[in-house]
């Protein structure tokens, strides 16, 4: 595979890089910073990307996209991540939009896709329930046909960004008597509908990223049904591969790696904690003097992490290539999601060990990089759960990628 960018791709990368450097004042090697609080903290930034057409480069032009190759969208995503760009509404762009293009009616496409391409419309996902997590087919939220509407009753939990979203991309059961994979449907529910209640759930950072959403006799027009009644499982699974290679990107963590390398190279007399946990699993002796970088075990651990980022890049671009050629890529996408999320946890665990007690300071003048390391360490916990747990990804790789028998 040729990893060199073409001339048009290199021009795009340079253009995006220049914009981000001016807009954010950062580079690929700038010090890491914690993300602002909230799930969608930078709507203005999202709108600026939308104005430039960078949120939907590969979408069809008739729906507000650029009609360009899929790879170019990932060039933009990589640069935004490497510059530490604020989190955006990836749910709407990489889950909702591809499904609408594949399964939505023409009226739905024209109503929602142009606004999504501009970054003007936000969605949350109504998937997980108290008794239905990775086994999405077991969901119990009901949508009952009543005249020209569906009436929805049920509960969703861990709904990221529900308090700020315009719509909920809702999975509900429309036929309770059908086999569990056959009786679900997908509906677009305006979050301002009567009967919708959002209750915040605190995450490990004590922030309200997650929510419980209650639907009580919520009426939604039949025109908001996506892909046909009882076709929800087919609709829901059609975009999981795109989600897994887009949302869980390794590049968002690169600046932390380079910051840890710089930190190890500095003279920090007496701060032995900077060495000790990075040496976990290594038995080479060390005098405790000099820079952490002078310890071969420290250099080896950081080198291993740098090599893993290169593996992450290769896995991603292989998945992009399969996706671009219209080939089956869900097993490869599962590899990307699994590797990237566990790499992030390994990186931040190593960093916490390097800094010792300094790594526990989330804020204040003593917080290194404004607390970016402990912030990311706590935030990374959820990544191996969302969009299918690591165990689910391994099962997909085994069944779809390796052709192993179930059980």
Q: How many domains does the chain have?
A: 3
Which residues in the chain come in under a pLDDT of 50?
A: 269-271, 273-278, 280-287
State residue 283's pLDDT score.
Answer: 37
- Domain assignment of residue 38, yes or no: yes
State residue 240's pLDDT score.
Answer: 64
37 and 25 in a common domain: yes
If you compute the radius of gyration of the chain from its CA atoms, what whole number of angstroms results?
Answer: 22
> CA 144 to CA 152: how far, in whole Å?
7
State residue 145's pLDDT score.
Answer: 97
264 and 216 in a common domain: no
Largest Cα span, the chain = 78
CB atoms within 10 A of CB 18: 11
Give pLDDT tens digits for 29-87: 999 998 776 666 678 898 999 999 999 999 999 999 999 998 999 999 999 999 998 76
Q: How far is CA 56 from the centre of its chain?
A: 16
What is the pairing mode between strands 184-190 and 167-173?
A: antiparallel
21 and 73 in a common domain: yes
Residue 223, domain CATH: 2.40.110.10
pTM strictly above 0.85:
yes
Last residue of a domain, one of 121, 137, 172: 121
Give pLDDT tens digits for 104-135: 999 999 999 999 999 999 999 999 999 887 67
State residue 209's pLDDT score.
Answer: 78
- Domain assignment of residue 327, yes or no: yes
Last residue of a domain, one of 229, 261, 283: 229
- φ, ψ for residue 66 (rounded to 5)? -100, -10
Closest residue by Cα to residue 76 from 116, 24, 30, 17: 17
Partner residues linked to 124 by β-bridges: 168
Closest residue by Cα to residue 124 from 79, 171, 100, 159: 159
> CA 353 to CA 27: how far, in whole Å?
26
148 and 292 in a common domain: no
- Domain assignment of residue 247, yes or no: yes
304 annotated active-site? no
CB atoms within 10 A of CB 404: 11
CB atoms within 10 A of CB 401: 15
- Domain assignment of residue 234, yes or no: no
Residue 391, domain CATH: 1.20.140.10
Which residues form the domain of 191? 124-229
State residue 4's pLDDT score.
Answer: 84
Q: How far is CA 231 from CA 12, 55, 151, 187, 194, in A?
A: 39, 28, 18, 11, 26
Active-site residue identified among 243, 267, 308, 324: 243
> CA 290 to CA 281: how far, in whole Å?
21
Residue 80, domain CATH: 1.10.540.10
């Amino acid at each position: 595979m040729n990893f060199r960018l073409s001339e048009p791709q290199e021009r795009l990368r340079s253009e995006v890089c220049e914009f981000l450097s001016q807009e954010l004042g950062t580079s690929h090697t700038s010090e890491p910073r914690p993300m602002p609080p909230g799930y969608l903290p930078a709507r203005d930034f999202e709108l600026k990307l939308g104005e430039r057409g960078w949120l939907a480069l590969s979408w069809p032009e008739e729906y507000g996209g650029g009609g360009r190759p899929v790879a170019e969208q990932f060039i933009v995503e990589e640069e935004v991540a490497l510059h530490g760009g604020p989190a955006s509404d990836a749910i709407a762009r990489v889950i909702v939009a591809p499904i609408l293009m594949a399964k939505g009616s023409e009226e739905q496409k024209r109503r929602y896709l142009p606004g999504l391409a501009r970054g003007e419309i936000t969605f949350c996902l109504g998937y997980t329930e108290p008794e239905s997590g990775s086994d999405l087919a077991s969901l119990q939220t009901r949508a009952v046909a009543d005249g020209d509407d569906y009436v929805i009753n049920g509960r969703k939990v861990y709904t990221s960004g529900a308090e700020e979203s315009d719509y909920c991309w809702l999975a509900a059961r429309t036929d309770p008597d059908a086999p569990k994979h056959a009786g679900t449907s997908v509906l677009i529910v305006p979050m301002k509908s009567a009967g919708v209640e959002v209750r915040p759930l605190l995450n490990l950072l004590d922030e309200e990223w997650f929510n419980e959403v209650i639907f009580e006799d919520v009426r939604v027009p039949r025109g908001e049904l996506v892909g046909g009644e009882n076709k929800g499982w087919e609709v829901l699974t059609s975009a999981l591969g795109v989600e897994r290679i887009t949302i869980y990107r390794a590049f968002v963590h690169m600046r932390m790696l380079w910051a840890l390398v710089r930190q190890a190279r500095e003279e920090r007399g007496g701060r032995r904690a900077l060495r000790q946990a990075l040496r976990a699993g290594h038995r080479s002796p060390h005098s405790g003097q000099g820079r952490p970088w002078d310890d071969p075990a420290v250099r080896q651990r950081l080198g291993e992490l740098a090599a893993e980022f290169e593996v992450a890049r290769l896995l991603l671009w292989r998945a992009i290539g399969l996706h671009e050629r219209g080939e089956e890529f869900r097993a490869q996408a599962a590899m990307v999601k699994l590797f990237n999320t566990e790499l992030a946890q390994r990186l931040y665990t190593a960093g916490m060990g390097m800094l010792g007690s300094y790594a526990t300071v989330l804020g204040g003048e003593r917080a290194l990089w404004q607390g970016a390391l402990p912030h990311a360490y706590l935030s990374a916990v959820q990544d191996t759960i969302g969009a299918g747990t690591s165990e689910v990804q391994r099962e997909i790789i085994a069944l779809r990628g390796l052709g192993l028998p179930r059980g």
